[in-house]
Amino acid sequence: MSGARLRAEQLEAWQNNLRHECNVSPHTLSAYLRDLDKLDKHLEPSDTWQSLKTKDISHVLGELHRKGLEARSLHRWLSSVRSFYDFLLRQGLADHNPAKGIQGPQTAKTLPKVLDADQVSGMLDMTCDSPLLIRDHAILELFYSAGIRLSELVGLNVGDVVLNDGQARVLGKGSKERDVLIGSKARQALEKWLTVRSSFANEGETALFVSKNGKRISQRQVQVRIKEWGKRHGLDMPLHPHMLRHSFASHILESSGDLRAVQEMLGHSDISTTQVYTHLDFQHLADVYDKTHPRARKKD
């Protein structure tokens, strides 16, 4: 069997493992396969995955860098290659992971953009009459109230939300369930949406949020509607679901200083992921300092 044919068969086995055993999303699966395809295109027909050495992976990494692939994408590419080789090792199809230990290029830390509390209030403190706007309002309130991810919101079913208790159960990354809190404003918006949801939802549809065709709303539809909402309310930057999640985390941390609590609320498995919000909090303090300290303010 040719090396190229063997590579293709082992990639297919990994794909089946990701889809059926690891339950990764179609979006994640597609990203993994694109990354491995970048590596495969640099190989000779006779090469096998087992035959590759660390220097081969480093060479391809350098080629991708020279072609303009950004540092963040290169790190993801390395992660995909390592994950694939870990699978080969578990299956006895390789005896080493040539991507292990390779360092990707340094990335500049960029802080997520957040809204301040007044901006959020300006967008959400309103009364909606149109069923579609009632739905969109409930979506935005829930994003900001619970700090959930886009995939978690879209995956919610009616039965996952207990408004009397102010809680919802979401399915996060790695198929991990967690309970999130729903504030009073979001509860009111959801109650209003549930009174008109039946005018949209198809019979038997379990999704909490549905589109005009009566089926579960898609992630893309939510992104488009939220962006339009931001434009309509005069926001000077594109509004997206993750901005609301970032704003939620920043505002909670700013008020409480409890990083562990924010980690739990966001569903981060590693607290280092949550620590970016400590930078946001410090940035806020620095802004206040510059504006209020007598010896910090610039003279007019």
* CA pair distance 266, 180, nearest whole angstrom: 9
Query: Is 173 marked active-site?
Result: yes
For 159, how many CA atoms within 13 A lie in the half-sphere containing its CB? 3
Query: Is 7 marked active-site?
Result: no
Q: State the DSSP H helix or E strand holding residue 181, giving kind and residue range, or none if neither.
A: strand 177-181
Q: State the DSSP H helix or E strand holding residue 21, giving kind and residue range, or none if neither.
A: none
210: its two tokens: 């549905």
Measured in Å, how far apart are the chain's first and last C-alpha atoms? Answer: 77
Rg of the chain (C-alpha set) = 23
Catalytic residue among 38, 187, 245, 251: 245
Are 219 and 150 within 8 A, CB to CB? yes
Residue by residue, DSSP assigns 222-235 as HHHHHHHHHHHTT-
Query: Is 268 marked active-site?
Result: yes
Query: Is 65 marked active-site?
Result: no
Catalytic residue among 173, 225, 240, 284: 173
Catalytic residue among 65, 100, 113, 268: 268
Query: Is 216 marked active-site?
Result: no
Catalytic residue among 149, 192, 216, 246: 149
* CA pair distance 96, 121, nearest whole angstrom: 54
Q: For residue 8, which of 53, 52, 48, 63 has the smallest C-alpha distance?
A: 48
Cα angle, residue 106 at apex, residues 252 and 174 outer, rounded to 5°: 50
Given the structure tokens 């966001």, which residue do they identify? 266
Catalytic residue among 96, 220, 242, 279: 242
Cα angle, residue 221 at apex, residues 218 and 226 outer, rounded to 5°: 130
Known catalytic residues? 149, 173, 242, 245, 268, 277
